[in-house]
Amino acid sequence: MSTHKHAPVLLRAGCKINLGLSITGQREDRYHLIDSIFYPLQEPCDLLRLEEREGPATLTVHIEAQGIDPANNTLTRAWTVFAEQTGFACPLDVFLNKGIPWGAGLGGGSADAAALLRHLARRSLEAGIGVDDEALAAMASRVGADVPFFLWNRPMRVTGIGDVLEPVDLDLSDFFLVLVMPPMNVSTPWAYKNYDELKVGQRAKGRSKVTENSHSGLKALTDMIKVRKECLPIQSPVELINDLESVVFRRYPGLRNIKELLLDHGACTASMSGSGSSIFALFTDRAQAEAAAQALEWPVHISSLAGM
């Protein structure tokens, strides 16, 4: 499909943290079933500069980042899926500036894909091809399990393989976020594979246990928010269970040390996000949050969650 040239477009793609992550099973196709709360963040973010060009209807991604193949990534998959489903193939150069580390469990690649899908839906509408929310979500699911979440960008309970979304009423605007992003990349397939192997070993020794799901985690967070709004002290940290910590911390013990340091500095809760390597904590007091950040040797993002 031919298109007339448009001015360059700049897109921002935020990220997410997992407020707990329970692995509840595995499908026959080996995909894992999860139960988690995804909470969106505006920062850190990726910046995407989109430039339409003349020539064949292809997408070219320009990026210099470890672990990302410019020819095969979430952006190229999103563009391909959209073209196949709608017939709208917009020739694009995408210049991607990564502010969200790859392999950090923050969903940066999924957020990029969602941002591009929304842009393509707007452009296709100008060409007379309408795409409704349901169709866009179906395309997002084909790109990656976490991509549909970033279309809506609000707190969600996420189940299935990450594709079943249920909005939740969760307002963390009274808290300060400390997000620690160590310069290491944790492979999500590696984390799940080693989790499976660990569970097999534990079952053989009779030590397998069932962890809490997001229902109990959500209740604990809701209670924490209520206490904060009543200006009462939060007496003990909320424990958010992330099943993947057991294997990731084993290989990267420094991540466990980060979590423990954040809790020692008065965090209301601290956890690994997704399959890592990022670790986050919530604080009620900005001074405590800043003191914790200063005690860390790794890159740290600190912000108020007000307005997130």
**In the chain, where the domains are located:** 9-167, 176-304
Two domains, one topology: 9-167 and 176-304: no
Instruction: State the pLDDT confidence band at 203, using cuts at 50, 70 and 90.
Output: low
Q: What is the reported pTM?
A: 0.90
The reply to whether 146 belongs to the active site is yes
Predicted confidence (pLDDT) at residue 123 exceeds the cutoff of 50: yes
The whole-number pLDDT of residue 208 equals 46
The whole-number pLDDT of residue 5 equals 62
**Tens-place pLDDT, residues 155-201:** 999 999 888 999 999 999 999 999 999 988 898 899 999 999 988 75
| Second CATH level (architecture) for the domain 9-167 | 2-Layer Sandwich (3.30)
For domain 176-304, give the fold: Alpha-Beta Plaits (3.30.70)
The whole-number pLDDT of residue 82 equals 98
Which of 112, 146, 163, 243 does the annotation list as catalytic? 146
The reply to whether 259 belongs to the active site is no
Which of 16, 98, 199, 259 does the annotation list as catalytic? 16
Greater confidence (217 vs 222) lies with 222
Tell me which of 79-93, 119-133, 203-217, 275-289 is least confident.
203-217
Instruction: State the pLDDT confidence band at 3, using cuts at 50, 70 and 90.
Output: very low
DSSP the chain: --------EEEEEEEEEEEEEEEEEE-TTSPEEEEEEEEEEEEEEEEEEEEE-SSSS-EEEE---TT-BTTBSHHHHHHHHHHHHHS----EEEEEE--SPTTSSS-HHHHHHHHHHHHHHHHHHHTT----HHHHHHHHHHH-TTHHHHHH-S-EEEETTTTEEEE-----TTSEEEEE--S----HHHHHHHHHHHHHHHHHTT---PPP-HHHHHHHHHHHHHHHHTT----SPPP--BTTHHHHHHH-HHHHHHHHHHHHTT-SEEEE-TTSS-EEEEES-HHHHHHHHHT-SS-EEEEE-TT-
